[in-house]
Structure 1
């Protein structure tokens, strides 16, 4: 082991001012973020019994540097002398406070020795781990090796070699990690971006596992998971990136931009053609320049976030916004469908079979034969819905002052309700059964608006605008909210299934009249209801979004049946794939508990209905007879 890997104690009578300030901050339980005079940085967001060290030297090992900087406590030092000075002072202070302290020094091997230019396959890559002789350090080394080797391999698997320290008298337990630079090509030095990101994430996680093993062995802290040792504060670079992403996202309302403003006139035109010709849809003019927005979106830098988890979340969001902007630029063009397919995915065969099964098992041969009775049932108009919406929002605001939602009744929307940011929009043509009002408001206010304001309370706007792909789980939760309030009917479930069937037909090349006839003739839908479905599906040229309601509901039911918790979903707008991420960020203290919980959970029947879902339930089981 080279001496630079584990600095020995150093006599010094003079403590630099910057180091004295850092020590004073630690003593006062304040965060430390100091740029070193000769380059490098000391970052400690709270007192922890470890420090991740990278000695930058001539700037070799850029990925090792990023891994070090991902930690809650790290030192990037220009040379071994500076690292010795800092570690002796900081380590001594933290050891006195916590009872233990260790250093994990990380760097890169000079070359990828196991890969040859003519290799017919991708061989394992080398990770060297050298541990000081103390017992806790060897325990930490074994934990690092186990975690690194257990990483799911997509490209190359690690081969970890644990070595004995070479007799250095170390002031603290120390691990020295060196990994092969598999993220770059041997000859050209070109970077493999995806491999680079996976390498950072996997070695960073293995480092946390090593720290956790050390903490448990020394009993220096009580932790529930190794993830709890991650960062507990957002650095300024994260906040700047978050604001920049939100500035782009807030320049347009995607759903309003792709939704027709002439729904009633389009219905009259379609009916006048005897349902044979697609009607003309009119849209709001775009208020943004798509190319200018894309240029701003891709000018946002993520290389200073120092957190692999947040880096991944913002990159995902950037890609999603790019697709949404591409959709806006392709409104009413043939490419719109394909961009929509890329954003929302295809209709999977199993999802389509489920939707068809729902329609087959709930069909009652309903037609337009008795429209009078249907109209008579719909005695809650838009103003009644508005009044109850304002009352529900007032109750949420009573429970959480930050629930600052507004309600608008508008003429430029299809029948129904829509949430846009902090606004609940109600179409003036809206009419529904009185007993449907509470369930639909639980859907729109209790899920969409609630997660918007709870996400706002988390400190990053990303959680209110939504993590990439959040809409499916959002709609699944919203439909489930209807069930918890006793509002799931055959009619509602059939509508959700019809959207899937219409999306599948649209993606398969069916025209709007063909999809309309499929719903009316094959599945017995009322003409006006069938048109509302196809209007949504064929808006702007064909949008596959409406399949996500049933897909999200199925994902949620599977999550509940496997004893999954609901609480993380109330923290903000997240996808099913982000459940583990939210748990990690919560364990690290970066996310707080939801500012307000859904009111519909207070429904007297909600606990029993939730228990049924946890016991295993299909969408058809949600209809109460």
Structure 2
């Protein structure tokens, strides 16, 4: 059993030199990160009215240690006497500053007493919470218990036992948490990795809520959320991990690698065969060795990040990059479609229903039932689009000097535009109606490039390359940008819906010609437009990506109808599921405000259109009359 600490006043003459240095740093408003001679560490990224403590020993409790060091202010040491000296010195200083100070000690129980080998079900697990007799500590203990018991349990639920530390002479309010080591098997000691991660996250969050309750009871700080008590600085280990992940991500461009370079020739071949045989698609040769990239990817260690939220974000990104690399290795094989399904998910019945409803109700007037085109004049060629793109980028650069985007016109892409990192790539065959140019540039530059550069400004490259699963919300935002700039026509919405229908057919086993005929004969698409859809859906070996446009738009409209803010989405490339994470990191001071906001938000009609969305609308409501 590890020794607990009850701080008591000590002679300041006995304070070690490194503690005096720490006090001087705190007084100067500087961070403290000191590795101790005994293997411990003192970390204070800013002055706060608390210190999280872990006493290590023969059985040091590795999860309790990780929970402690996830905090913005912590002390880890194997020696209780050292802890007493440090707490007394630092606590006295911080109590003078804030008017209050508390110690939160994290530790583990010796064994999981409630679990037996013959248990017919997984029982609760015990958490002991011992509080000093003062009212603020008791309030903090109750807040911890409420938070822990409210945690959604996937494996086992906690049973919290509240105790009062009667008779303990303490100069500061004190909270001691001990939890059962449910993350390891009792006999073998083997670890349950997923359970370990969930345990760290839940107890860390309950600890923050306890500290927030203490802060509120003592009025020592004003905070908007308990998450604001978390870290406000990235440690070196986070930066190293971020750079390592980015090095792997930047070795390949996934979309370019799976986009055919012979779109025009493929269309001619398909038409020459009376639209009955799938054409042959040609691709750029891969410039990386997938096995070597995967080896480097999984050699990246997340063990020293000291932040459960960032740990989870990087693990998710690692898994996404692994799937992307697997897709590249399976390009033009039967396995490609299944890796794509794993990465982008299936087409949900509800999503498919919305897409079919759009195709039935949003007429575009451009095709007869046989798919014959009514010729539409297209006044904007690739050079006009390029000129307008450079002008828009120049305006963004005027507003934010770091908006260093480039524009390329290339022959090896299907008609249209594509963003790759900091580049806007325009196919030379691109042609569109002049009124479509501004909406499509708002899509590509105002969302994709803007979030790349805003993400770059956050200090971690993860926010520019994108959090795992970010593409759906990115495309939803980009399509919404078209609506805000008066660019959502029935034809455009039908195209987005057609991608969903085509993805669903492909995932159900339809061939390229079958899906093509579905779009032309059943939904009245022009032949060339239908081919553009199936080219995207069947590229690489059949890619389920294109369903994300409508899915992301629906997620965004739901978010706006619930009065959700747009601001976090401009900070970098994030998924809908990361909205809360971005709010937390922002509250903690780890993320700054966007370096630049979308220009399209300044358009005269944008505020009223945004208000309509917040009042509740469907994609069909976005179509211009």
> Structure 2-normalised TM-score?
0.98
SS in 2 for 1:119: coil
Q: Find the residue that maps to 1:121 and give its secondary structure.
A: coil
Q: Distance in 2 between matches of 1:369 and 1:65?
A: 66
- Any conservation in 2 of the 1:340–1:544 contact (CA below 8 Å)? yes
Determine the structure 1 residue equivalent to 2:296.
296
TM superposition shift of 1:369: 7.6
Alignment of 1:443-454 (within 5 A): 443-454=443-454
Give the CA deviation at 1:5: 2.8
Q: Deviations over 1:69-120 (max 9, x none)?
A: 0000000011101101110111111111111100001100000000111111
2:375 is aligned with 1:373: yes
Aligned partners of 1:453 and 1:464 also within 8 Å: yes
Change (3 A) 1:148 1:369: closer
Aligned to 1:13, what secondary structure does the other structure show? helix
1:487 maps to 487
* Residues 619 and 67 of structure 1, relative CA distance in 2, 3 Å threshold: same
**In 2, Cα distance between equivalents of 1:395 and 1:587:** 30
Query: Which residue pairs with 2:430 in the alignment?
Result: 430
Q: Give how far 1:4 is off.
A: 2.6
Which residue number in structure 2 is paired with residue 622 of structure 1? 622
Distance in 2 separating the partners of 1:596 and 1:2: 52
Displacement of 1:492 after TM fit?
0.2
In the other structure, the counterpart of 1:572 is 572
Structure-2 change in CA distance of 1:372 and 1:112 (3 Å): closer
Does the CA contact (< 8 Å) of 2:257 and 2:284 recur in 1?
yes
Matched, 1:126 2:116: no
Per the alignment, residue 149 of structure 1 pairs with: 149
Q: Distance in 1 between matches of 2:428 and 2:360?
A: 33
Matches within 5 A, 1:135-174: 135-174=135-174
Question: Counterpart of 1:57 in 2: which secondary structure?
Answer: coil
Corresponding position of 2:65:
65
Partner of 1:287: 287
> Residue 527 in 1 paired to residue 520 in 2?
no
- For the residue of structure 2 that corresponds to 1:191, the secondary structure is coil
Contact 1:452 1:573 in 2 (8 A): yes
Q: Do structure 1's residue 334 and structure 2's residue 306 form an aligned pair? A: no
Residues in 2 aligned to 1:331 and 1:388: alpha-carbon distance in whole angstroms: 35
Give the corresponding residue for 2:245: 245
Deviation for aligned residue 1:2: 8.5
Partner of 1:441: 441
The match for 1:457 is 457
| 2:381 corresponds to 1:346 | no
Given the alignment of the two structures, is residue 543 of structure 1 paired with residue 550 of structure 2, yes or no? Answer: no
Distance in structure 1 (CA, Å) of the matches to 2:434 and 2:366: 24
Quote the residue 2:216 is aligned against: 216
Alignment check: 8 A CA contact 2:485 2:600 kept: yes
3-state SS of paired residue (1:402): coil
For residues 3 and 514 of structure 1, the distance between their equivalents in structure 2, rounded to whole angstroms, comes to 71
Distance 1:590 1:196 in 2: 25
Q: Which residue of 1 aligns with 2:81?
A: 81
Q: Deviations over 1:471-491 (max 9, x none)?
A: 000000000000000000000
Find the residue that maps to 1:129 and give its secondary structure: strand
Counterpart of 2:505 in structure 1 is 505
Instruction: State the partner residue of 1:599.
Output: 599
Q: Which residue of 2 aligns with 1:17?
A: 17
The gaps in structure 2 that reach 5 residues or longer are none
List alignment gaps of at least 5 residues for structure 1. none
Larger displacement relative to structure 2 (586-595 or 12-21): 12-21
- Equivalents in 1 of 2:542, 2:119: separation in Å? 47
- Cα separation, 2, equivalents of 1:256 and 1:408: 14
C-alpha contact 2:8 2:84 (8 A) present in aligned 1: yes
Counterpart secondary structure, 2:514: helix
1: CA distance between counterparts of 2:566 and 2:12?
55
The structural deviation recorded for 1:57 is: 1.2
Residues 401-428 of structure 1: per-residue CA shift (max 9 Å, x gap):
0000000000000000000000000000
In structure 1, the partner of 2:106 is: 106
Distance 1:25 1:369, change over 3 A: closer
Moved over 4 A (4+): 368-372
- Which sits farther off after the overlay, 118-127 or 361-370? 361-370
Q: How many residues align?
A: 623
Task: Note if contact 1:98-1:221 (Cα within 8 Å) is conserved in structure 2.
Answer: yes
- Return the offset for 1:148: 0.5
2:14 and 2:67 mapped to 1: Cα distance?
Answer: 31
1:144-199 per-residue CA deviation (whole Å, 9 max, x = no partner) reads 11111111111111000111103110121100110000000111111111110010
- The CA deviation at 1:16 is 1.8
Tell me the distance in 1 between the aligned counterparts of 2:563 and 2:190.
45
1:90 aligns with 2:87: no
| Partner SS state of residue 234, structure 1 | coil
User: Residues of 1 paired with 2:497 and 2:115: CA distance?
Assistant: 52
Matched-pair contact (CA < 8 Å) for 1:6–1:105: no
Cα deviation for residue 14 of structure 1 reads: 3.3
Distance across 2 between alignment mates of 1:163 and 1:2:
18
Per mean C-alpha deviation after superposition, the further-off stretch among 76-85 and 245-254 is 76-85
TM-aligned CA deviation for residue 21 of structure 1: 1.1
CA contact (8 A) 2:5 2:83 kept: no
Q: What is the alpha-carbon distance in structure 1 between the residues aligned to residue 328 and residue 371 of structure 2?
A: 40
Q: What is the SS of the residue equivalent to 2:47? A: coil
Secondary structure of 2:287's counterpart equals coil
Offset of residue 17 of structure 1: 1.9
Aligned partners of 2:564 and 2:173: how far apart in 1?
39
| Post-superposition CA distance 1:519-559 (Å, at most 9, x none) | 00000000000000000000010000000000000000000
Report the equivalent of 1:562. Answer: 562
Q: Which residue is equivalent to 1:39? A: 39
Check whether the contact 1:7–1:80 (CA below 8 A) recurs between aligned residues.
no
Q: Report the counterpart of residue 588 of structure 1 in structure 2.
A: 588
Query: Is 1:26 equivalent to 2:13 in the alignment?
Result: no
On the 8 A contact 2:141/2:175 being kept in 1, the answer is: yes
Alignment CA distance shift 1:523-1:2 (3 Å): closer
Matches of 1:397 and 1:406, distance apart in 2: 11
Deviations 1:271-295 (A, max 9, x none): 0000010000000000000000000
Task: Tell me if the contact between 1:64 and 1:108 (Cα under 8 Å) persists in the aligned partners.
Answer: yes
Quote the RMSD (CA, aligned, Å). 1.2
**Between 1-10 and 403-412, the greater mean CA deviation after superposition:** 1-10
Distance 1:182 1:221 in 2: 35
SS of 1:148's equivalent in the other structure is: helix
Shift of 1:6: 2.1
